[in-house]
Structure 1
């Protein structure tokens, strides 16, 4: 295809495909644990990190990574303080991070194209260094998930039973939240900080509509995420659209189509 004759499109597709696999894989656990807003909270934190990087003059990606990791630890700390109200942690981190981002952006007194690319994603913003970091970190995240699969499975469906079975629930939760933070930071270049959480929630939501097993949910979620990213990147190149918004709209369309089709099938039964 002619679009792959451009180096920036090759980098965008590599980064996008890796991001899709990571977001969908972690998203299944997040959705089943009813923590769908965790991606939103961490993405808002990463925006604060991006703003901090621009304000202080260092690479914004590192700011996003540090801010998301710090927010992940803060979420777990607040969740322990409010064990029956986990959503409190997400609301506190999300609102505080957004407020911090707004303040730092106002201090910089600039809303430039680079910041816009971090907000909504950009095809040309993905550099060779970004691809190398996303690839290396992506492999690390997938290996971690494979290694902790049984523990995460047990915690997802019954945290108390997992604790009684000897699983270090607190440590696994912290590690998983840090992996989620890393995934969010990696995805901001392609999807943007304001939309990355949707890529972690919508494909798993589609899979839970039609999957008949836990493992099948992963396959379907990854397939939906890959389809949304591939078609979204292509459409954003052809029609000069923001890639993040295009990807999320396609994923949302798939979810609506699946829900409508499932409802129609159920009515005919």
Structure 2
């Protein structure tokens, strides 16, 4: 079952999960062109999944609906996504083609952000938009630190063999920050070397293995002593909670220059 990371814009990925007969789920098509080009090679969308309303994730939908009228569009409850045909929330299931995906609410980047989890995939897949990145996480444009941390905790609790399909190729830039925060973490160093090799070969660093992210991503390790100590050094005091650790870690990353 091919999983395609279709490059869009400067660093976005549009994900397409394709069955042997060419039918496919398309996730977060910010541009139509990459999907239309894949269609020339046999891709036949049966549904579109949208994680949140930002233009670089939904901007190609209208053009795709012109090509495939009536194509189901599964999206969160958010009026900013006007062309949704099926609204979804936490705990809902999306059935499209041969696939059944669980919807997980992950507010923080945006308040209505959702992720889609294909639990019975081989391997299991998580389409998480801009909530979780490899070695990083999304900025909080609408939510707050407790919300975002709860969302990341929810994703981190999924099986470790889950493949994480993020919305952007940010792994190397995230790694630069993660090494400052957690320089002695061998899992982080392994992931960095792997990602460097992939990018040198012009390959995506995604999907990432969730167990690797739980071991190396500082935003999934807010309770780890090394991360707590790094944040304590920044604050000049002990953080009061994991949410405090996360909030300062996110502020630190927002202003970080490699």
TM range (shorter): under 0.3
In terms of fraction of residues, the more strand-rich structure is 2
Which is bigger in relative contact order (C-alpha 8 A, separation at least 6)?
Answer: 1
TM-score by length of 2: 0.28
